[in-house]
Amino acid sequence: MKVLLFNGSPKTNGNTYQALCEAAHILNLAGINTEIIQVGSVRVSGCIACGGCAGGSGCVLPDPWFAQVTKKAIECDGMIFGSPVYFAGMNGTMKAFLDRLFYQRGIRQHFRLKVGAAVAVCRRAGSVGTFDEINHYFLISEMLIAPSTYWNNVLALQPGDAQNDGEGLRTMRNMARNMAWMLQMKQATRQAIPLPEAEKL
Ligand SMILES: Cc1cc2nc3c(=O)[nH]c(=O)nc-3n(C[C@H](O)[C@H](O)[C@H](O)COP(=O)(O)O)c2cc1C
């Protein structure tokens, strides 16, 4: 099994990355493969609402990086999206990325009943709103959400400060343990309990 962890920060080794690493470590201990995908330093265009994805083959913007990441997202078992908090919301690059990833017709159905988790990293304020924002993408895609012992946020300012937020890092580890359990439950019950069918509009 594999979980993708997306770092929305432009800082490749900043606090969001470190929060994600904490979760990845626990997933690895549970025998689950992980890959951290750097999003925040990529020039990601937002959705231009062209409707081109209605053809069912994904986003038609010429963007080989995005196409490759979409393929990985289809194939993985779980996804964790980490964003730094900018002005009390997720950062712009992460928003552009998530809008395009989840809007793709014919693609989003592959995310159905995969396990997801949101992570928000901030200095002081805005993490809960950011956490909620990211959860909206899971909930409209029929994804399962891994819970934790707090809302998944880490408080940190300068790169590296994340290591000083013991409760935040513990929240990441508990979320990752619960995600591992959900993935293992899904795998173990695959034959006995088939996935439910959704009614189509
Ligand atoms: C443009 C910008 C806006 C920010 N807005 C907020 C904010 O609204 N609330 C907050 O607590 N921190 C805010 N911060 C601080 C970052 O969220 C914080 O430094 C975080 O640790 C950055 O994560 P990173 O190291 O992964 O980039 C902001 C930082 C930047 C650059």
Flag whether 196 is in a domain: no
Cα distance between residue 130 and residue 111, in whole Å: 21
The pLDDT tens digits of the residues spanning 121-159 come to 999 999 999 999 999 999 999 999 999 999 999 999 999
Flag whether 151 is in a domain: yes
Whole-angstrom Cα Rg for the chain: 16
Flag whether 18 is in a domain: yes
Is the distance from CB of 88 to CB of 130 less than 8 angstroms? yes
Flag whether 197 is in a domain: no
Flag whether 135 is in a domain: yes
Flag whether 200 is in a domain: no
Flag whether 58 is in a domain: yes
How many A from CA of 4 to the centre of ligand 1?
23
Instruction: Average the pLDDT over 92-100 and give the result.
Output: 98
Q: Which atom of ligand 1 is nearest to the CA of 19?
A: 26
How many A from CA of 9 to the centre of ligand 1?
9
The pLDDT tens digits of the residues spanning 38-69 come to 999 999 999 999 999 999 999 999 999 999 99
Supply the pLDDT for residue 200: 81
Indicate whether residue 84 lines ligand 1 (CB < 6 A): yes
Give the number of domains in the chain: 1
Residue 183 above 80 pLDDT?
yes
Pick from 183, 195, 172: nearest CA to 2: 183
Task: Supply the range of the domain harboring residue 30.
Answer: 2-188
Instruction: Average the pLDDT over 167-181 and give the result.
Output: 98
Q: Which atom of ligand 1 is nearest to the CA of 157?
A: 19
Record the tokens describing residue 28, joined without a space.
């690895």
pTM: 0.98
